[in-house]
Structure 1
Amino acid sequence: MSEYTIPNLKNACKVLQMIADSQQPLTMSHIADTLSLPRSTVFRILTTLCEQGWLFREEKSYRLGGALIGLGRKAINSSTINQLARPFLKEVTELTGETSQLAMLSGKRTVILEVEDSPHPLAAHSRPGTEADIHCSASGKVLMAFGSESDTQKVLGSLSFERHTGKTITDRSAFESELERIRSAGYAIDEQEYHEGIRCIAVPVFENAQSASYSIGITASTHRFTRRKIKGFAKILQDAATQLGSHIA
């Protein structure tokens, strides 16, 4: 450990990350046992984070607090990659008529960094900062397929493969086969795996020749985004991803 590291601040970061990664509120005892920390230490950390608005207490459990929303938005808005991606997302949406987004991996989930909304009144909209499960989102799947091998294997071991619809992949072996198909095709499809009636497509954005750090994708209703449009949308996204990649390499 660095001589400049503050142990309890580091522990507070671990507590925040653990709660952020959980899909349900966590109790103090569960956090302390999982992180192998004294309960008194965890209690003080949780109390302080609640006072600052970073956590919210629900009876005996804790979840993320509202103060993190503003912090996250500021972090996203200040990102250079967002500024670089905006004109390319705008072009994708103009060419397809559908909502486009930039995303990246964040622990065991993907997070949307930037969005260009579709002009259609009934369109799929997700705001920057929205997170999604990796195994059933086009962005998550494509980033796993084209990410570094070590990172992919690490994340694979932590996925719970929760079912969202009847088409959700819920088995690791089937998911790994899906990743192979994605590598061959060059793009990933969320075939109503997250929400019924919603189809998504995403392609990798390479900063270097080895792995992808970001993805560009489209989200739309299956009524407008029919399967016959997949290859055309894939080509538009790949062209945008190549251009964006050349700006950040």
Structure 2
Amino acid sequence: MAQETDSPNRRARGRPRGWDDKTEQNTIKSLDRAMLVFEHLSRFKGRMLTELADDLTQSPATVYRVLVTLETRGLVEFDPAEQLWHIGPQAFVIGAGFLRRTSLVERARPILRRLMEVTGETANLGREQDGQVLFLSQVETNATIRAFFPPGTLAEMHSSGIGKVLLAQMPPERVAQVLASHPLQAFTANTLTDPPSLARDLATIREQGFAIDAEERNEGMRCIAAPVFDHSRTAVAGLSVSGPTSRVSEDKTEELSRAVLQAAQDLSSALGGLP
């Protein structure tokens, strides 16, 4: 049988000709505008129409048409009592489809469960997404006071344990790109907001193998994180435990960091990775 060869006349199976052309001719402006509204709304627990319009410098009428269209597909929903727009249930269904693409979340689940049981604190899994931390999974502690980062939450890398441990594994040029696109915003008095301080912290993280978020994102909350590596020794994710400073205290750092490092090593091994 003759071997099939590529031909200019063959029909593209996944992309048409010029698929790598991202110019205006290959984009749908109305769809792009809708996705802009949808992505922005996802950053809030709820947003009024006028707030969304002001945020995006669009007319309320334009934003309203987008929201109504997304509402018909279940991607957003409206709370008439509060006059707030929210992300809808269909967004979770679509997001779950993304999570099914990778074995990372599936393989991490029992390891997160075990980490929570060993430490008594909430265990988290996250990875870098466009210069931010995207939280993929979480196993909550049963304690009354606990951290909560639902899957899909985005956080700034410089104020997150997982974010800092991933930054510490990046080449300097990539770190510079992240900091250029995401300024060092102060969330608490402990947030590292100048590059030299952050650089020193990243050097310490590389040396000890784990990162500490010492009330840098939320006052009264502390986090310890370690990197997860793939087969090429690339940090593809981070694991962490987080909780109130009354329980995740400085004198428990050594004990908790050992548990987090072991969990990260277990997940690396499960992915065929090397620490």
TM-score (norm 1): 0.78
Tell me the equivalent position of 2:206.
183
Q: Give, in angstroms, the shift of residue 17 of structure 1.
A: 6.4
Tell me the equivalent position of 1:225.
248
Matched ranges for 1:87-102 at <5 A: 87-102=110-125
Which string of whole-angstrom CA distances, capped at 9 and with x for unpartnered residues, describes residues 14-70 of structure 1? 9746974797831249xxxxxxxxxxxxx7x9955761345799xxxxx98535344
Q: Give the superposed CA RMSD.
A: 3.2
Q: Secondary structure at the match of 1:179?
A: helix
Alignment check: 8 A CA contact 1:198 1:221 kept: yes
Structure number with higher helix proportion: 1
Tell me the equivalent position of 1:161.
184
Name the stretch that deviates more: 110-119 or 19-28.
19-28
Q: Give, in angstroms, the shift of residue 107 of structure 1.
A: 1.1
Alignment check: 8 A CA contact 1:76 1:128 kept: no
Tell me the equivalent position of 1:138.
161
Alignment check: 8 A CA contact 1:19 1:26 kept: no
The correspondence for 2:70, drawn from 46, 52, 61, is 52
Matched ranges for 1:52-131 at <5 A: 52-53=70-71, 65-66=87-88, 67-76=90-99, 79-131=102-154
Alignment check: 8 A CA contact 2:131 2:181 kept: yes
Alignment check: 8 A CA contact 2:145 2:243 kept: no
Distance 1:15 1:152 in 2: 31
TM-score (norm 2): 0.72
Q: Gaps spanning 5+ residues in structure 1: where?
A: 30-42, 58-62
Tell me the equivalent position of 1:3.
17
Tell me the equivalent position of 1:37.
none
Matched ranges for 1:173-212 at <5 A: 173-212=196-235
Tell me the equivalent position of 2:81.
none
Alignment check: 8 A CA contact 1:101 1:114 kept: yes
Distance 2:246 2:267 in 1: 29
Name the stretch that deviates more: 155-164 or 64-73.
64-73
Alignment check: 8 A CA contact 2:212 2:223 kept: yes
Report which of the two structures shows the higher radius of gyration computed on alpha carbons: 2
Distance 1:166 1:241, change over 3 A: same
Q: Secondary structure at the match of 1:214?
A: strand
Tell me the equivalent position of 1:26.
56
Distance 1:226 1:47 in 2: 50
**Which residue type is aligned with residue 242 of structure 1?**
Q
Distance 1:50 1:68, change over 3 A: farther
Name the stretch that deviates more: 15-24 or 132-141.
15-24
Alignment check: 8 A CA contact 1:190 1:200 kept: yes
**Which residue type is aligned with residue 27 of structure 1?**
T
Alignment check: 8 A CA contact 1:103 1:216 kept: yes
Q: Gaps spanning 5+ residues in structure 2: where?
A: 1-14, 20-24, 44-51, 79-84
Distance 2:176 2:34 in 1: 24
Aligned-pair identity in percent equals: 27
Q: Give, in angstroms, the shift of residue 11 of structure 1.
A: 8.9
Alignment check: 8 A CA contact 2:188 2:215 kept: yes
Name the stretch that deviates more: 189-198 or 165-174.
165-174
Distance 2:39 2:189 in 1: 27
